[in-house]
Amino acid sequence: MTANYQAHGDVAVITLDNPPVNGLGLATRQAVADAVNRAQADEAIKAIVITGAGKAFSGGADIKEFGSPKSLQEPNLLSLIALVEGSTKPVIAAIHSVMMGGGLELALGCHYRVAAPGTNVALPEVKLGLLPGAGGTQRLPRALGVEPALNMIVSGEPVKSEMLAMLPGQKLFDKITATPASLMDEALAFARSVADVRPLPKVRDLPARHPQGDAYFQFARNMVKGMSKNFPAPAKCVDAVEAATKKKFVDGMAYERELFINLMWTAESRSLRHLFFAERAASKIPDVPSDTSLRDIKTVAIIGAGTMGGGIAMNFLNAGIPVKMLEMKQEALDRGLATIAKNYEAQVKKGKLKQDKYEQRMALLSTTLSYDDLSAADLVIEAVFEELSVKQAVFKELDRVMKLGAILASNTSTLDVNSIANFTARPQDVVGLHFFSPANVMKLLEVVRGEKTAKDVMATVMAVAKKIRKTAVVSGVCDGFIGNRMIEQYGRQGGFLLDEGCTPEQVDKAMEKFGMAMGPFRMGDLAGNDIGWAIRKRRYQEKPHMKYSKTADLLCEKGRFGQKTGAGWYDYVAGKRDAIPNAEVVAMIEAHRKSLGITTRKISDEEIVQRLVFSLVNEAAHILEEGIANKASDIDIVYIFGYGFPAHRGGPMNYADELGLFNVVQAMHRFAQNPLDDAAFWQPAPLLARLAAEGNKFN
């Protein structure tokens, strides 16, 4: 079923019925068009109401159809809206819950709109690298006023129906119903009240004007330029809305169409559409059915109130879930508690959190020094020192006290989750929950699935992640899991680039121009260069044949650990995060090169970007092949949400797909010829080599 038709006396009700969000795919458009024609032909029908079944009026065009002939096939969305607008009987949209994109554009083609309070109204196309392509940029400014319409179109953010209805002079909503439940009754009554009113009002006939015209649009362009440097769509939104104020309606529509189609083919839009589905796909685990019954998580315990423990606690407090924190000493608890309070107070000061909300959250937090006090928690997350023996002691205690069925999680970043699970007599209840620092801010959560982790534990923690607003990705057990295992290779390449002639600043600038939130050396300074140093020292023992640049070790030997010591690859002024290049570091790198007899060469930004990004891609291909990641799109999500990879590139795997895997492999063969690089690493992973040979893609 895609839309159904029911006559309520003299009013025909057409209900979009295309779960989950009544996307306006071809079959649905056809069904609505058929239903409108049927109502038109039926003499007993005086008015038509269009509404949506289930949890939305409509989430808009069916994004899955984009780029396929189906999205253009008749009746396309424009034709359907024209059919509705051209109806000789009044058409009333009865709107509730969610009205987005093409859903709003369809409603704007109706003659009247009756909306339930609390409806989320948006034109979110810009978030997919597009602009509204079925009249949204031409009709919304006419219905709502130019400024509020442009704000909605450029931001893509939802606004509540009752807020929009308060805008002076707005013609978007003819009525906001008393309650969501009274929508249909009120819409039917409204339809009958306007059944004989002629001429039928059409949004397209309204004027779209701005008193400051050119000056306003110039201002809007400047604003948008600063906010969206890697995305072409927001500036095009301004152009299209300006056209609504300057061109005739039909010419504005043609202009909007042209801009929409051009944006549809940009790499940026393809990347954002990829991420839309990748984010939703990440929560699905191939062998864990979506109807797996979940364990009830009402209370949480956290072991260790340090950097991570405190941040993790805040996530649960923010979601209204009580947290009990355990430490070995009262001073450590006091310190942890004070840090949490300080973080919240900073939010209150900035006006981001209300005082009463802060108090409510703190009231959900309690502390203890005794494991026996934790026994009732449904989920316990360990965030103590990163040493296996310490984890062992903690998990033995947890095994002793926790109630049956409780989920026991570790926030370890490097240790073997299977070993940790085997410290208990219930390895099926043990899972890794790898938060990223700062844990109350970073969106990414790697869920590490142990050999024995039960399916319902996996399903439960994925649901918990959603509740605390994290984007969770499943990783198998391996050193570094998905994200840090890849970043190790990226860091190694960064070292070779310094040996061959780059400065940290040149590498960082090239990567930041590519779109990374931070280049690799600034990132090292932020995370602490000592962390990588400790890992390398381990690697020198485990993998003595693995090639490394020694530059980073030399830096650490000088105690330049990064921001926390005020000096790393760069210098830092206390209280500031600006990276100031340091001549001694550059001299140190040059001296090291000299000691190795390396003749410096000029390395292009393109080579820097390719070597660093392809090092991620090759390691990721191994990760995929080993089944550590379930799908390539999960890896893209890890890098976008955890490592500042640019969204407009869609993640490293999507970027490689866009370039063509054949080209990626050819570049790796070239890099392998470089005697200062690691030829063995640049052998393309078998999966990558195969996909490239087949002309295939990761995603």
- The SS3 assignment for 656 reads helix
Among ligand NAI, ligand 3HC, none, what binds residue 411 when CB lies within 5 to 8 Å by partner kind? Answer: ligand NAI
From 379, 371, 358, 374, select the one nearest 314 (Cα to Cα): 358
Cβ nearer to ligand NAI, comparing 496 with 643: 643
Question: Does residue 394 belong to the site contacting ligand NAI (CB under 6 A)?
Answer: yes
Q: Which is nearer to ligand 3HC, 290 or 595 (CB)?
A: 290
Q: Which stretch binds ligand NAI (CB under 6 A): 262-270, 349-357, 431-439, 619-627?
A: 431-439
What is the nearest approach in angstroms of ligand NAI to the Cβ of residue 431? 14
305 lines the binding site for ligand NAI (CB under 6 A) = yes
34 near 172, Cβ under 8 Å? no
The residue from 288, 388, 390, 586 that contacts ligand NAI (CB under 6 A) is 390
- Which stretches of 441-480 are DSSP H helices? 455-467
Stretch that binds ligand NAI, among 153-161, 305-313, 351-359, 465-473 (CB under 6 A): 305-313
Helix, strand, coil in percent for the chain, rounding step 5: 55, 10, 35
Among residues 420 and 608, whose Cβ is nearest to ligand NAI?
420
418 to 415, 428, 434, 484: CA distances (angstroms): 9, 10, 14, 18
The bridge status of strand 112-115 relative to strand 471-475 is unpaired
**Nearest CA-CA partner of 548 in 678, 697, 358, 355:** 678
Token pair listed for 390 = 């310490």
Q: Find the shortest distance in angstroms from Cβ 205 to ligand 3HC.
A: 21
Give me the residue whose beta carbon is nearest to ligand NAI. Answer: 306
Task: Report which secondary-structure segment, H or E, holds 571.
Answer: strand 570-571
Strand partners, 4: 15
Assess contact for 624 and 689: CB atoms under 8 A: no
Query: 133 or 309, CB closer to ligand 3HC?
Result: 133
- Kindly state the smallest distance separating residue 564's Cβ from ligand NAI, in Å: 11
Stretch that binds ligand NAI, among 171-179, 230-238, 387-395, 675-683 (CB under 6 A): 387-395
* Long-range Cβ pairs for the range 221-226 (8 Å, 24+): 224/154
Nearer to ligand NAI, 33 or 303 (CB): 303
Q: Which residue has the tokens 């795997």?
A: 653
Under the binding rule (CB under 6 A), the answer on residue 384 touching ligand NAI is: yes
Q: Min. distance of Cβ 72 from ligand 3HC in angstroms?
A: 11
CA atoms within 13 A on the CB side of 524: 29
Contacts of 163 (CB under 8 A, 6+ apart): none
Give the residue with the Cβ less far from ligand 3HC, 8 or 284: 284
DSSP string, 529-549: HHHHHHHHHHHHHH-TTS---
Residue of minimal CB distance from ligand 3HC? 101
CB nearer ligand NAI, residue 495 or residue 528: 528
Q: Which partner, ligand NAI, ligand 3HC, none, binds residue 102 by CB below 5 to 8 Å per kind?
A: ligand 3HC
- b/e map 566-592, b = 16+ CB within 10 Å: ebbbbbbeeeeeebeebeebeebbeeb
Q: Which of 43, 74, 85, 105 is catalytic?
A: 105
DSSP 403: P
Residue placing its CB nearer to ligand 3HC in the complex, 132 or 650: 132
Closest distance of CB 643 from ligand NAI, Å: 13
Residue 636 token pair? 């893209």
**Contact between 447 and ligand NAI (CB under 6 A)?**
no
Q: Could you tell me how many helices (H) and strands (E) the chain has, helices first? A: 28, 19
Could you tell me how far CA 13 lies from the centroid of its own chain? 37
Task: Check if the beta carbon of residue 143 is closer than 8 Å to that of residue 203.
Answer: yes
CB of 122 to ligand 3HC, least distance (A): 7
23 contact, one of ligand 3HC, ligand NAI, none, CB 5-8 Å limit per kind? ligand 3HC
Q: Does the annotation count 105 as an active-site position? A: yes
From 85, 125, 382, 607, active-site residue: 125
Q: Tell me which residue has tokens 């989750």.
A: 417
- Least Å distance, CB 97 to ligand 3HC, is 9
Six token digits for residue 379: 């989920």
Q: What, of ligand NAI, ligand 3HC, none, does residue 280 touch, CB below 5 to 8 Å by kind?
A: ligand 3HC
Cα–Cα–Cα angle for 390, 395, 398, rounded to 5 degrees: 130
φ/ψ of 515, rounded to 5, equals 125, -5
Which residues in 499-538 contact ligand NAI (CB under 6 A)?
none
Question: Using CB under 6 A as the criterion, which residues of the chain lie in contact with ligand 3HC when the complex forms?
Answer: 20-21, 23, 56, 59-64, 77, 98, 100-102, 105, 124-125, 128, 132-134, 136, 277, 280
Measured CA to CA in angstroms, residue 616 lies from 526, 547, 610, 624, 655 at distances of: 20, 17, 10, 12, 11
308, interface contact from ligand 3HC, ligand NAI, none, CB < 5-8 Å by kind? ligand NAI
**Stretch in the footprint of ligand NAI (CB under 6 A) among 107-115, 287-295, 388-396, 654-662:** 388-396
Alpha-carbon separation of residue 140 from 148, 236, 246, 665 (angstroms):
9, 16, 15, 48
Q: Taking the complex as a whole, how short is the minimal distance between the CB of residue 486 and ligand 3HC, in angstroms?
A: 25
Angstrom distances, CA of residue 655 to CA of 110, 230, 610, 690, 693: 41, 15, 11, 18, 18
Residue range at the interface with ligand NAI (CB under 6 A); choices 194-202, 266-274, 381-389, 560-568: 381-389
State which residue, 284 or 539, has the beta carbon closest to ligand 3HC: 284
Handedness of CA 494, 499, 501, 502 (dihedral sign): positive
Q: Identify the residue among 54, 201, 232, 306 touching ligand NAI (CB under 6 A).
A: 306
From ligand 3HC, ligand NAI, none, interface partner of 141 (C-beta below 5 to 8 A by class): none
101 binds, among ligand NAI, ligand 3HC, none (CB under 5 to 8 A by kind): ligand 3HC
User: What is the smallest separation between the CB atom of 310 and ligand 3HC, expressed in angstroms?
Assistant: 29
Q: How far is the CB of 158 from ligand 3HC (least distance, A)?
A: 8
State the amino acid at position 334 in one-letter form: D
Within 326-365, the residues that bind ligand NAI by CB under 6 A are 326-328, 332
Binds ligand NAI (CB under 6 A): choice among 437, 503, 565, 699 = 437
Least Å from the CB of residue 484 to ligand NAI: 9
CA–CA distance, 403 with 337 (Å, rounded to integer)? 26
Active site residue 607: no
113 beta partners: 93
Q: What minimum distance in Å lies between the beta carbon of 259 and ligand 3HC?
A: 11
Tokens representing residue 549 in the block? 């640049």
Shorter beta-carbon distance to ligand NAI: residue 1 or 328: 328
Closer to ligand 3HC by Cβ: residue 151 or 418: 151
Question: To which residue do tokens 């500036």 refer?
Answer: 235
- Name the residues that contact ligand NAI, by CB under 6 A: 303-309, 326-328, 332, 383-386, 390, 393-394, 411-413, 434-437
Catalytic residue set:
105, 125
